[in-house]
Amino acid sequence: MAQTQACWPPTLTTDPEILGYLTDINKINYSRDIGRSFHLGGNIYHQYGDTFCKNSKGDFVGVVCCTTSKVVDQSKPLQSSYLAIDSNGLVMPLLSLNDEEIAYQKNNPGNRPTLWAFGGVVEVGNGIGLLWYEKGIDHNPGSGQPQTYECLGIGIAKVAIERSSGQPTTERIPGLLFQQNEPHFGSAFLDNGYIYLYGQISGDCKIALTRVPPDSATDRSKYQFWNGSGWCTNTSDCAPAYADLPQGQVLRSSFFGTAYPYLFVGVSKYGDSKIRVGRAKAPEGPWDIYVVGTAKGINYPNDYMYCIFPHPWAFADKDGKLMVTWSEHWPGGVVAAKLSFKLDAQAAKQGL
């Protein structure tokens, strides 16, 4: 049977169709961002950044940095469930602060240690995954003083599923894999015996690429870095795989045909809310990337939309449909939309 695929250059048959917010089945309206999804142990999870937690009365009870919810019914991709919430209404984080970070926060009021994971969990075994996260300090949040962010580097954690509850639990590996002046690697996927990770080169918006065998991911010496023509061992020799697209996701997909098995969906650094879609023959590129539409907010549409990610499991890609999400600025949430691409009838006839 011929492979059905979307046409190239990518063209939508209509404007992005807003589906609604990602919601929690506990009926609490959380303000949160990121909203990237991942597979682990046969389940699908949504992963968030800062989550402004509320109790059952709707009262704000605090901010949790990195949370995850389980999709209970895949036919309802916008609905998910937080599996662990304490009696005060605080959601259990996917990544917890260690003793040193808790002590720092106590001794430096107004400065918040952060563990942000933009890249999703990569499953390396049945119910076992790896997660790269950016460790930083959010200086003066909500204080009325100028707010700044300081990235300290990139760490890695092992993720496992608690069988009785389906709740992901994590073990942070001590130390940092990459320092603050190195690329902020994190956006990851598994392909052909390697985990590939993209990350913004420090102080720039050029996106570097590294790869590592899954069983060596905690060993910094096993990482290889793309230098523009091959793989090297020093981050100082990194050449960009692409540029100006700091938030997004690369995955293996036949959405645009088997000759271009790598798909990119994301957003640029320009704050223009444009949905960008690309394809390539290899993870390192070269990438061909187009604007296909504009992300719009629901209740908070005035600021630009960020953290645009694809969720290919939500629809059958043979129909040219792709669910994507993006984030509104606080106090907004994560918005889901359907992209309907024009199909390539000629490619289907030729079996490309």
pLDDT digits (tens, 9 = 90+) for 300-326: 999 999 999 999 999 976 689 999 999
Q: 246 CB contacts (<8 Å, ≥6 apart)?
A: 200, 205, 207, 268, 269
Q: Which residues contact 345 (CB under 8 A, 6 or more apart)?
A: none
> For the chain, how many structural domains are there in total?
1
Q: By percentage, how much of the chain surpasses pLDDT 70? A: 96
331 found inside a domain: yes
Report pLDDT digits (tens) over 242-280: 999 999 999 999 999 999 999 999 999 999 999 999 999
Short-list 76, 47, 52, CA closest to 62: 52
- Helical ranges in the chain per DSSP H: 99-107, 345-350
Please tell me the distance from the alpha carbon of residue 108 to that of residue 250, in angstroms, as a whole number.
38
Portion of the chain with pLDDT greater than 90, in percent: 86
Q: What is the pLDDT of residue 1?
A: 40
On whether residue 172 sits in a domain, the answer given is yes
- Inside any domain, residue 7: no
348 pLDDT higher than 80: no
Whether 249 and 122 have beta carbons less than 8 Å apart is answered as: no
What CATH code is carried by the domain that includes residue 256? Answer: 2.115.10
d(C-alpha 313, C-alpha 326), whole Å: 16
Nearest-angstrom CA–CA distance, 300 and 306: 13
Strand, helix or coil at 221? helix
DSSP state of 163: T
Mean pLDDT value across residues 172-178: 97
Q: In the prediction, which pLDDT does 273 show?
A: 97
Range of the domain at 76: 17-350
Structural domain contains residue 138:
yes
Report pLDDT for 318. 67
Model pLDDT, residue 321:
95
Residue range 225-236: mean pLDDT, rounded:
97
Q: Which two tokens stand for residue 331?
A: 């106090």
pLDDT tens, residue by residue, 56-84: 899 999 999 999 999 999 999 999 999 99
Tokens encoding 207: 């996106």
- Between 205 and 305, where is the model more confident? 305
* Residue located via tokens 């223009």: 272
- Grade residue 39 by pLDDT with cuts at 50, 70 and 90: very high
pLDDT, position 267: 96
Contacts of 253 (CB under 8 A, 6+ apart): 261, 262, 263, 312, 317
Judged by DSSP in three states, 317 sits in helix
Please identify which residue in the block is written with the tokens 């994971």: 117
pTM of the model: 0.94
In a domain, 193, yes or no: yes
Q: Which two tokens stand for residue 316?
A: 């059958």
pLDDT in tens, 143-168: 667 789 999 999 999 999 988 888 99
The answer to whether residue 183 is domain-embedded is yes
In this predicted structure, the answer to whether residue 16 has a pLDDT above a threshold of 80 is yes
Q: State residue 145's pLDDT score.
A: 73
- Strand 79-80 and strand 23-24: the pairing is parallel
C-alpha to C-alpha distance for 235 and 153, rounded to whole angstroms: 13
Surface-to-core class of residue 244, CB atoms within 10 Å of its CB (0-12 exposed, 13-18 middle, 19+ buried): middle
- Asked whether residue 5 is domain-assigned, the answer is no
Query: What's the whole-number average pLDDT of the chain?
Result: 93
Is the pLDDT confidence value at 199 over 70? yes
What does the chain come to in residues? 352
pLDDT at residue 337 greater than cutoff 80 = yes
Tell me the pLDDT band of 4, cut-offs 50, 70 and 90.
Answer: confident
**Token pair listed for 178:** 């990459």
Q: What is the bridge-based pairing of β-strands 43-54 and 67-70?
A: antiparallel
* Residue 264 contacts residue 289 (beta carbons within 8 Å): yes
First to last CA, the chain: 11
Q: Is 3 a member of any domain?
A: no
- b (16+ CB within 10 A) / e for 256-288: bbeebbbbbbbbbeeeebbbbbbbbeebbbebb
Q: Are 111 and 77 in contact (CB under 8 A)?
A: no
Name the β-bridge partners of 324.
Answer: 310, 337
**In this model, does residue 218 exceed pLDDT 70?**
yes
